Structure 1
């Protein structure tokens, strides 16, 4: 019995972008086998009688081309098996062509797969950031049902200009393009695209980072923040989070929120960074210990009143961190304006200020680099891990 091969819009499955995947359906001997074509469309763009995209469907020509290529590929595989006198089923026919399927995956398909994998790894916050970036690219290009080769240097520059036209910061543009670069890296790792298809050899995301505004303040300005008397519990928390970060190797907000009493060992703060999983060990100065003492409570295992035993699921934790960080940064900005600081104050300013103050005091760049975060953050953490506590203790004295 001859086989039938067609491509269907799989309406029973809806992706997070509101589209439905296109599935190859092979039917032989009364049995069916389905396989994703690697692209998706919205239901209103699909002609379910003709099993083809409608005339106004975005990227219609390329979708039809991929459909025809896949059908021809399976037909050829079936013919080859007949010529060789081999029996086959719908399933084995699909399997014989599946090794080539990844090359048909679009940027959008890879992007959504990456986001789903992050959620499975419980990296909820980072997955959320990728979703924001994904929606930005969709808004710019209308869709991402395009091959990786369509995204070249010219495309990236157009996106960069489009983002600047919306008055978005260089930091935001850099972050979103780095997310896209991560999707490219995933495709290369899985051998779905060739290295010569990689636009980031020429388009350097680092050039955007060099345009990032100054994010550090002087030791004198840090002291102004330390002396500032908060007028509410949230304002006091904002100040204490900033000061604690500054005094403890620029620890970021998420890591501060997740600190527990078990992270204090012999007057040292020891924890694994949420982002890099690196083990950090820094001495707790008197001021840092005073801040911890203010929030000590038998009702919560956390050092700061940001998370509580109530926040158990990854989603609850992510929502709580997002909400409190927004409030903390709002208060810090207002405090910075009252103190006439040269730049908008955020928790991230504490990270950069920590590094800058030590650098200006003559501390070796082998112990602490000028920037904590961005491209040099991993190098900084490696250096911090490689020196003994005595060297770190000696360097920390320059902070106050």
Structure 2
């Protein structure tokens, strides 16, 4: 007689993976929990992400170049996610009950809910801390600021909440009250849009993580959900500002009174002639990003850099005015190829992502203040900012008859995925030729 063996339920495999198939708005890729059971996969968001420059694909690990203590904090949080879902898989296997990957996910969430019930502000803090640990200092600040704004509102409008509020209390009525409260303080439409888009992102992450229920979601997902809160109702259109070529000539002819004004002038003109590069990228350019040398002037001929916001790669020919600007800084800022081109960041002082972010924010404010003064001296009616330089670049190309698609590629507009499509469909020679319209 043939022997029979008693069925033993297998255990699901759990692994936290760096999910490169999805790219976030800041160019980073998320870490996902991958649960495998009976050859079927389920992915769960962790809320943690990392820019690809800090990921070693060959070793499948976070690079040691990732600044501490951020690297250690990120690794600790990733291990916590791994352990939590592994324990859930072990528990179900030990019970010897038939189950699948979603059951493992549900078991892990069940355990999490049993230990604590996360509320809105606490979750905002958790997200902010995770982003900071992942090197996303800018996003961490946005979520921290949201938490602080909500805390102030809760203290005034919901004193009975005891300082925090459950996710199921974040209703349409709650959103309407917060909007009214913000409007009473004179908050502009674009700020309202940003605040509510961030709140919406928090709720989406909470639902994905299983700490909030989708049935209480207050935001409209479709046109039919008119009874829900409409984030798109805010008027975020801004007056499009650009200076004319004649006005730009006036700025070029202006002699700054001091080094600070000179830097502001150079930042504006380099952004205009350098493909509309934004201040954050411009300030972090290193001499190794400049290649080639003109036989006539000795100035670099090409700029190659990765945009901080999206991770998109850019390569452009330096027009003579831009090349002359960086050439003037070389005697003062060049020490090694890794030296910064512009005198904004000090590699000895500004090391961590937070230090760099704070320094850039401070200098940008001063540069924009100096640009407004320079604009007035040059007789330019439009208040000058680094944004105006970027917009003037795009407007000049458009007026020169350059196709919108080419301008989109040149500026790195839209998401990284869309930018990647543009980069794959246009030759760099087209972009190089387009810049001739600036001269």
Which residue of structure 2 aligns with residue 231 of structure 1? 257
Counterpart among 342, 347, 352 of residue 309 in structure 1: 347
CA distance in 1, matches of 2:135, 2:127: 13
Is the partner of 1:271 in helix, strand or coil?
strand
Matches within 5 A, 1:53-64: none
Query: Does structure 2 conserve the Cα–Cα contact (< 8 Å) formed by 1:106 and 1:147?
Result: yes
CA distance in 1, matches of 2:134, 2:285: 21
Which residue of structure 1 aligns with residue 219 of structure 2? 199
Which residue of structure 1 aligns with residue 302 of structure 2? 268
Which residue of structure 2 aligns with residue 363 of structure 1? 402
What do the CA deviations read for 1:341-373 (whole angstroms, capped 9, x no partner)? Answer: 444322122222222222232211111249968
Which residue of structure 2 aligns with residue 43 of structure 1? none
Counterpart among 258, 262, 281 of residue 255 in structure 1: 281
- The 3 A distance-change label for structure 1 pair 315 and 379 is closer
- The 3 A distance-change label for structure 1 pair 208 and 225 is farther
Which residue of structure 1 aligns with residue 318 of structure 2? 284
Matched, 1:329 2:375: no
Query: Does structure 1 conserve the Cα–Cα contact (< 8 Å) formed by 2:109 and 2:211?
Result: no
CA distance in 2, matches of 1:156, 1:165: 14
Matched, 1:162 2:181: yes
Q: CA RMSD for the aligned pairs?
A: 3.2
- The 3 A distance-change label for structure 1 pair 195 and 229 is farther
Matches within 5 A, 1:116-131: 116-131=129-144
C-alpha deviation, 1:230, in angstroms:
1.4
Query: Does structure 1 conserve the Cα–Cα contact (< 8 Å) formed by 2:372 and 2:385?
Result: yes
Moved more, 175-184 or 284-293: 175-184
Query: Does structure 1 conserve the Cα–Cα contact (< 8 Å) formed by 2:154 and 2:164?
Result: no
Matched, 1:298 2:324: no
- The 3 A distance-change label for structure 1 pair 127 and 377 is same
CA distance in 2, matches of 1:390, 1:124: 35
Is the partner of 2:396 in helix, strand or coil?
helix
Matched, 1:245 2:281: no
Which residue of structure 2 aligns with residue 26 of structure 1? none
C-alpha deviation, 1:207, in angstroms:
4.5
CA distance in 1, matches of 2:146, 2:177: 16
Query: Does structure 1 conserve the Cα–Cα contact (< 8 Å) formed by 2:189 and 2:236?
Result: no
Greater relative CO (CA pairs within 8 A, separation 6+): 2
What do the CA deviations read for 1:84-113 (whole angstroms, capped 9, x no partner)? Answer: 9xxxxxxxxx98941445994222122111
Moved more, 112-121 or 157-166: 157-166
Moved more, 299-308 or 99-108: 99-108
Is the partner of 2:135 in helix, strand or coil?
coil
CA distance in 1, matches of 2:109, 2:175: 36
- The 3 A distance-change label for structure 1 pair 101 and 225 is farther
C-alpha deviation, 1:138, in angstroms:
1.9
Structure 1 regions of 5+ residues with no counterpart? 1-83, 85-93
CA distance in 2, matches of 1:373, 1:272: 10
- The 3 A distance-change label for structure 1 pair 124 and 99 is closer
Matches within 5 A, 1:116-195: 116-142=129-155, 145-195=164-214
Which residue of structure 2 aligns with residue 390 of structure 1? 429
Matched, 1:214 2:234: no
Give me the TM-score of the superposition, normalised by structure 2.
Answer: 0.62
Give me the TM-score of the superposition, normalised by structure 1.
Answer: 0.67
CA distance in 1, matches of 2:390, 2:418: 12
What do the CA deviations read for 1:188-217 (whole angstroms, capped 9, x no partner)? Answer: 332433445151525454553543333433
CA distance in 1, matches of 2:341, 2:384: 23
CA distance in 2, matches of 1:102, 1:356: 56
Equivalenced residue count is: 307
